[in-house]
Amino acid sequence: MPGFELLINGKMVPGAASLDVVNPATEALAGTCSRASEAQLDEAVDAAEGALADWAATPIADRRAALMNVADIVSANAQELGALLTAEQGKPLGDAVAEVYGFAVFTKHFAAMDLPVEVLEDGESRRVEAHRQPLGVVAAIVPWNFPLILLGFKFGPALIAGNTLVVKPAPTTPLSTLRLAELIKDALPPGVVNVIADDNELGAKISAHPKIRKVSFTGSTATGAKVMAGAASTLKRITLEMGGNDAGLILGDVDPKAIAPQIFAAAFPNNGQVCIAMKRVYAHEDIYDALCDELAEIARSKKVGDGTEAGVELGPLQNKNQYEKVLAIIADAAEKGTIIAGGAALDRPGYFIEPTIVRDIAEGARLVDEEQFGPALPVIKFSDPNEALARINRSAEGLGGSVWSSDSDAAHALAVRLDAGTVWVNKHGDLDPGIPFSGAKQSGVGTELGREGLEEFTQRKVINIHR
């Protein structure tokens, strides 16, 4: 049985205290793990610093082989890790196992990448080269909605670039990450990867830690701002992927029946607990009623329950605070709009809320103005696409968005003007490890994924040679 201890310098060690983890589907104990002290955080950072020189000097082919081995180990244990992920996070077991495999896929993708020297100039009087070198010790702070796949956004690129890692999962979902650490601890040299858990008291220490050269953070905008403030004290590098209030702009020339399943799937993956889920639907008046009816019918057909139960499509909210927040947002929406599906908590233990569709709603309602991060979707009517686009762009957030139309040229023209880091046309939420992903406005700083995402974990060094 896994002990859910901390990984520090190649060894699983007990924490200074313990942390209880709640199963959100039952509100019972999912497990108890070790909880790191500030001194143990320092030990993990020191271990990463001590391993840095040798790991950075390891040929990239050898680093690649080690990461490929890590991915294979994780894949071989996907069922166990997926079961742990469902127990602590709540998502259906099939989705959890797929997330484990996703970590392996992303790790292999980045492991296969290279960082060749780029020759900027090679003339008679000089040669100029751009080299990519590791930054040093990197901290990866991972949220509770996708503990493993979002670790995969950081793990592979940080390590293939020659950095060492200190990983901190969210306090409500540490079990699968600590078990992953135990499984891979012998696949990498001691200190290259360290994994600690806390109860939200070490984030500020990590952000300001003088020996950490970069923080890669995924989470809320409010917490990301704190990370940015803490990092300023040592001018360390940061990548922040934060909240989004992504809008889908649906033009009047679409077939509501045909696209409603795609819209629903874009809005309710992981029960709406996805940074790039569609959080607002702006639908043209010509198809508004029909689209609302289709979405409501789909919502009423979904099976909500414990992720271990057969046929369950939507699990619980991950934690009590988020559950209570979403219920409060839905209560506000009931006063400012018309609920046509869902709208209530399930009468059973666990943090379950019916998938909810709200029409006749507009800006000024919390469900439109805030990122709900849960199973509730507002459908907002418009008549003029340019006016709707202006309303969408007023949001302080700009992670993603989408435009839907049978006229791809018209959709593209609007997509160019939608103020977000990623805009999809006739789809939403399509992520690929080879495509860079960046947030605009208050949704992010820096880039993840793609070559640009890999380079975020490096220092460019220019060598300018006189001839």
Catalytic residue ranges? 241, 275
Integer-rounded Cα radius of gyration of the chain: 23
CA separation for the pair 262, 254 (Å, rounded): 12
CA separation for the pair 176, 83 (Å, rounded): 9
CA separation for the pair 240, 218 (Å, rounded): 6
CA separation for the pair 103, 30 (Å, rounded): 22
CA separation for the pair 458, 416 (Å, rounded): 30
CA separation for the pair 318, 320 (Å, rounded): 7
- Residue 267 buriedness (CB in 10 A; 0-12 / 13-18 / 19+): buried
**CB-CB contact of 462 with 130 (8 Å):** yes
CA separation for the pair 187, 155 (Å, rounded): 14
Maximum CA pair distance of the chain?
Answer: 78
| DSSP one-letter code for 326 | H
**CB-CB contact of 249 with 392 (8 Å):** yes
Residue 455 structure tokens: 């380079």
**CB-CB contact of 298 with 267 (8 Å):** no
**CB-CB contact of 400 with 371 (8 Å):** no
